[in-house]
Amino acid sequence: MLVFDEFYDRLFYNGSCNSCNQYNTSPAWCQSCDPISVSQMSTSGNKDIDEYIKRFSFKATRYEEVIEWIPFDRLDNIQTMNRKKSDSEVFSNWLDGVRTVLRTDGSCTQSRIPSYLVALKTFPGSNMNSVDFLKELDNYLQLKKDEFKIHGITQNTITNEYMMVLETYRRNSKFGKCIDCKLPNTSKAWCQLCDPRKTSKGWTSGNKDIDSCIKEFQFETTEYDKVIEWIPFNRLDNIKEIAKGGFGYVFSATWLDGKRIIVYDGKNYIQSRHKSSMVALKTLPGSQTSSADFLREFKNHMECRLTGSRLEIYGLTQNSATNQYLMVFQYANNGNLRHYLKLNFKKLIWKDKLLRLIDISKDLIKIHEAGYIHCDFHSGNILQHKEELWLEKIIKSYIADLGLSRNYKESTLKKGIYGVLPYIAPEILLGQKYTQMADIYSFGVVMAEITTGIPPFDGYLFNDDLAIKICSGLRPEFAPGTPDFYIELAESCMNSDPQKRPTAKMLYDEFSKWYNFMNEQDTDDEMDMFEESDDELDEKSEISNKFWEANDIIEQLPIIEQKNLDNVYTSQFIDVDKISQRFSEEVKSGDIEGNYTF
């Protein structure tokens, strides 16, 4: 009689079982022995829950598929996050962490990823008994088995409610299947459980702080084409200086390996690279002396990038000759907004201007949502990039240079500020705390600049006299023919009272509305016209006509020669203590009026 091994597909590269000494049936997992040992682990104290976990474990064919009872005291830093307005989710750090298989030198070992972020989920009527909970759990897993991976069950020791412990990221089979855990990917060609671990291995910058910073963001990234990395300097070719700012230099370069892209071959999404990509390199102040100082700007960019800011960040590198570290990011093939206006102002009609403002306000929303204040917002820090979408070429705007930005919790001024004087809000010049409303003031200045094509206060000396005039109410001029409602919005941004300024979201909504009005009139959609009231049609018509009339005036505006823009409109140190003291003295003497409410 022949007796066949039920698990005939055992392979030597899965490792050997410590109990039966046979080859494992999958990496670091023996189907004959491991389910038994797993079922003897810690219990919930509830017979129904324990039996359910045991049944689930005996069905597992891989080490990573096992679910377990997770003591509530092993879940740390439990917090509720509102990912959507209508939905809130509970997250926690699981101290023991998810199961994973380590593959080293041809062997496989059972392991864990400690302090792993997981989601906790209850069901409606959360005080249900264990039997009802398990029924709901079965139904949920039937419906969601291809979307979420379950790690185990726990019980809140305060409320006594049972909770599922789940993977935090939604899975979808249309994104393909992970080659490691065999589950559907969490985004196109990307598995949030497995891929971050792979990207974090096999490289080093030679600096512990930098390695830690890059790996931190690699584990937070949820899409393959947003992964950052350490980029060896010898993989950057044809490096050329293209700009100099108040805090360093910007170079263009060819990245030989190229940025990450996702390719669809008709069946699957595939991780790939765009070889020899053009990129920009920015020197980071202090990088030759302190990794902590220069990493601040990089972290600011990455935090904003993770909330949706569209400026692509690729990673960090180090100049092998100077030892200076540089940030590698998206190359803007049309320079910054200031230079773009200088070269293209006569061709820039109002629909194009509104598109720029929509892009800029959208990026500012993301910066503010991430809890940051830009603190150096001006047209030189707004990049312009021409993209080819289908058969159309469009210009996209991106906010860059977060070197001076800060979290709103650390926004107190120290010994003056750095910035470009015409863009700085009056309350900041008078020594007040930075808020996001200071960025809105700067946005209003940019709105004025877009109407004229000329940087604000061109021809003025950037000194204390100009600062006092700004604090006294001096504001940039607008081009003749600029629509009144546009000027009113820009002036509200530059209101002396920060509380009376609009938010970035309000600006985005208004620009989008105006653009849509122009677009609808341009396409003349008669069906929409029948569905709208006379007042709505009148408003659309009036706003659209004002912008079209303003287009005719653009050609008549004079071209003013602007020299040394880079030398004048760069961030400089400004002694706000000195300005504040002088302003107070002039108010007391009656030379100027001071009516600030902050």
Decide if 72 contacts 90 (C-beta within 8 A).
no
In terms of DSSP bridges, do strands 249-255 and 417-419 run parallel, antiparallel, or are they unpaired? unpaired
Tokens describing residue 329: 């990011």
Rg of the chain's alpha carbons, rounded to an integer? 29
Checking if the pLDDT of 125 tops 70, the result is no
Which pLDDT belongs to residue 38?
85
Which domains, and CATH codes, for the chain?
Answer: 12-168 (3.30.200.20), 180-331 (3.30.200.20), 344-598 (1.10.510.10)
Q: Nearest 5°: phi and psi at 29?
A: -140, 125
Identify the pLDDT of residue 59: 87
Confidence tier at 292 by pLDDT (50, 70, 90): low
Ramachandran bin of 445, using left for φ above 0, alpha for ψ from -120 to 50, beta for the remaining angles: alpha
DSSP string, 393-452: EEEEEEE---SS-EEGGG----SSEEE-GGGS-HHHHTTPPP-HHHHHHHHHHHHHHHHH
Task: Please tell me which residue, 359 or 36, carries the higher pLDDT value.
Answer: 359
For 296-353, write each residue's pLDDT tens digit.
Answer: 778 877 877 767 678 899 999 999 999 899 999 999 999 999 999 999 999 999 999 9
- Average pLDDT, rounded, for the chain: 86
According to DSSP, the residues that pair with 407 across neighbouring strands are: 372
Residue 79 is predicted with a pLDDT of: 80
> In terms of DSSP H, where are the helices of 221-272?
none
CB 307 within 8 A of CB 370: yes
- Nearest-angstrom CA–CA distance, 239 and 262: 26
Furthest CA-CA distance within the chain = 112
Band of the pLDDT at 249, cuts 50, 70, 90? Answer: confident
pLDDT of residue 316: 95
Q: What is the pTM of this model?
A: 0.75
What's the mean pLDDT in 68-83?
83
Phi, psi of 466 (to 5 degrees): -65, -40
Question: d(Cα 267, Cα 397) in Å, to the nearest integer?
Answer: 34
Min mean pLDDT across 46-60, 160-174, 295-309 is at 295-309
pLDDT value at position 446? 98
Q: With contact defined as beta carbons under 8 Å apart, do 358 and 555 qualify?
A: no
Can you tell me the distance from the alpha carbon of 429 to that of 431, in angstroms, rounded to the nearest whole number? Answer: 5
CA distances from 438 to 345, 476, 487 (A): 27, 16, 18
Q: What value does the mean pLDDT take over residues 65-85?
A: 80
Place of tokens 């079922």: 39
Write the CB contacts of 348 (distance below 8 Å, at least 6 apart in sequence): 341, 453, 554
Tokens at 391, concatenated: 């058969």
Q: What is the pLDDT of residue 288?
A: 60
Q: Assign residue 426 a region (left: φ > 0; alpha: ψ between -120 and 50; beta: otherwise).
A: alpha
Instruction: Check residue 73 and give its pLDDT.
Output: 94
For 543-565, the pLDDT digits (tens) are 999 999 999 888 787 766 666 56
Geometric angle at alpha carbon 286, from 436 and 414, rounded to 5°? 40
**Does pLDDT of 223 surpass 70?**
yes
What is the structure's pLDDT at 85? 38
The vertex-516 CA angle with 513 and 519, nearest 5°, equals 155
pLDDT for 590: 78
The CA-based dihedral angle spanning residues 557, 561, 564, 569, taken in that order and rounded to the nearest 10 degrees: -20
Instruction: Report the pLDDT value the prediction gives residue 83, as an integer from 0 to 100.
Output: 43
